[in-house]
Copies of this chain bind each other. A is one copy, B any other.
């Protein structure tokens, strides 16, 4: 049985002290009411819900899993899921960041990111049901017609229905251009809206079928009859599980159904479905053949949320491994007994155990700052009063998303591994709960684009195609910060190395851009190492900002000392990893020759 307590102090610190979110948010359009007090109250309420209703279900729901009934093609979710989802919907969480016009609360995206962390820590598998809905409402908000939003988005915002994203097919994963699902025009419906009949098989559909909601709205990628080949011939459709009656309530069953659920390494409690569309009726959303572009506008939000999953799992794993290291008595300190009245010292006296804990802490808090920073830029992108500010924030977001997703999910692999390792053999035993974090974490470097896809997006699209416009903003911001704080006594030993790393990052980016233009294979040979390199420097920047914020803050001396210690640890023992990635980048594609 694992513990979980929402890390409210650290969330507040990151939001308000490090990122100055209150100042930023209250200056945005519609943000007048988004004071620290309001946000604080929402965080506390999210903490209560997660601690009380979600966290206790995490292990039992993993053991129980989802059950698929072949005869009725229905999925039963684990015990407690319905109750938690009901409470979640009644609390208004399903519409936290949606516009008020559709029943949402129009709260800032960065607050949604923070509460998503809390819910995902409570139960990642459970949190995927509302998460997929978010993607669907987002797509309808951006690309749907008003009647579509009225009929399909509002009930999701209200928490009565949920949504899915149906992209992957057996032969089409990372390469959606290969997808085969077809959409044939059919007779219009009673209201005169054009209807399409969708046929094909989709796999890996999270929350594709379940018992938490009255209806499920699938957003499906498919090809129209006149579609060009490849990724330019993909359109997006709204396909509800139950077709709607005249009053908008769920009516006749549509011909879309789950054919099976997958047996997976982890997130057992998430219903991952094979979905069969057999002439299922749906509506085109957005323009014909522009489905992939529409899907990609959702993708940023989805990728950021998956990054948050890494943080969420790592946070809970850290809480438990720290707790275990405090309580487990084994062996004596190398410099003599520290608890002479006990049969042995606790694990915390071992420097190697502290190394594993500090690694987790550095990554968890660094990742949190990164995803919240990115989310706050999203708010600026959407609601700044100044057009130039909106554009700059959008460019920053586009640049940071692959780092936030790729880096945070990979670091979560290391964090959950180290957390388990601290338990020794007991970490391998299911009832202690640590191995579930490792299993659950393993999906996050795969879905919503593998780490390789994030890396290709970062280097190929964000740096090369978009000429590194987001990177330039970010590097300038770091340089400005370094200059501003160059004489800051409290940041001694941090600003210098950060400035050096930032300069090196900039140089590396320029030389890499030149090299990949000469030989596109160099892009693939460097991308993942460039992603890591970028990630480690980004976290270094955010750690220095954290130390600066702690210095200026009103927290306890112990809190501030922990930030200084973790930052010093990060700079001494983690940041040197950039050396390895630099070497790999410079080694180039010639060190990755053909394999027969």
Which A positions have Cβ atoms within 8 angstroms of B? 168, 171-175, 178, 204, 262-266, 322, 325, 329-331, 333-335, 343-344, 348, 350-355, 357-358, 413, 417, 420-421, 424-431, 435, 438-439, 442-443, 445-447, 450-452, 455-456, 519-521, 523-525, 527-528, 558, 562, 565, 568-569, 572-573, 576-577, 579-580, 583-584, 587, 589, 591-596
Question: Interface centre among A329, A420, A524, by most B CB within 10 Å?
Answer: A524
Q: Bound complex: CA of A592 vs CA of B527, how far in Å?
A: 32
CB distance from A203 to the nearest CB of B (A): 8
Q: Tell me if A322 and B428 are in contact (CB < 8 A).
A: no
Q: Tell me if B447 and A355 are in contact (CB < 8 A).
A: no
Q: Tell me if B431 and A263 are in contact (CB < 8 A).
A: yes
With contacts A421-B446, A421-B450, A596-B558 taken as known, whether A524 is within 8 angstroms of B173 at the C-beta atoms is: no
Tell which of B442, B451, B558, B569 touches A428, judged by Cβ atoms closer than 8 Å. Answer: B442
Q: Bound complex: CA of A569 vs CA of B587, how far in Å?
A: 9
Q: Tell me if A528 and B355 are in contact (CB < 8 A).
A: yes
Chain B contacts for A204, CB-based, 8 A: 425
Q: Tell me if A429 and B178 are in contact (CB < 8 A).
A: no
Q: Please report whether the interface of chain A is mostly helix, strand, loop or mixed according to DSSP.
A: helix
Q: Bound complex: CA of A184 vs CA of B149, how far in Å?
A: 78
Chain B contacts for A584, CB-based, 8 A: 572-573, 576
Q: Tell me if A173 and B452 are in contact (CB < 8 A).
A: no
Q: Tell me if A429 and B358 are in contact (CB < 8 A).
A: no
Chain B contacts for A456, CB-based, 8 A: 352
Chain B contacts for A455, CB-based, 8 A: 352
Q: Tell me if A355 and B576 are in contact (CB < 8 A).
A: no
Tell which of B175, B262, B430, B573 touches A331, judged by Cβ atoms closer than 8 Å. Answer: B175
Chain B residue nearest in CB terms to A266: B428
Chain B residue nearest in CB terms to A456: B352
Given contact pairs A322-B595, A558-B596, A565-B593, enumerate 10 new A-B contacts (beta carbons under 8 Å).
A173-B424, A325-B595, A334-B520, A335-B521, A355-B525, A425-B446, A568-B591, A572-B587, A573-B591, A577-B580
Q: Tell me if B452 and A442 are in contact (CB < 8 A).
A: no
Tell which of B173, B175, B452, B580 touches A425, judged by Cβ atoms closer than 8 Å. Answer: B173
Q: Bound complex: CA of A430 vs CA of B261, how far in Å?
A: 12
Chain B contacts for A175, CB-based, 8 A: 330-331, 344
Chain B residue nearest in CB terms to A357: B595
With contacts A173-B424, A334-B521 taken as known, whether A265 is within 8 angstroms of B355 at the C-beta atoms is: no
Chain B contacts for A325, CB-based, 8 A: 595
Tell which of B262, B450, B525 touches A429, judged by Cβ atoms closer than 8 Å. Answer: B262
CB distance from A442 to the nearest CB of B (A): 6
With contacts A428-B265, A521-B335 taken as known, whether A592 is within 8 angstroms of B354 at the C-beta atoms is: yes
Q: Bound complex: CA of A342 vs CA of B589, how far in Å?
A: 25
Chain B contacts for A425, CB-based, 8 A: 168, 173, 204, 443, 446-447
CB distance from A370 to the nearest CB of B (A): 21
Tell which of B343, B352, B519 touches A335, judged by Cβ atoms closer than 8 Å. Answer: B519
Q: Bound complex: CA of A421 vs CA of B580, how far in Å?
A: 21
Chain B contacts for A424, CB-based, 8 A: 173-174, 446, 450
Chain B contacts for A329, CB-based, 8 A: 171, 178
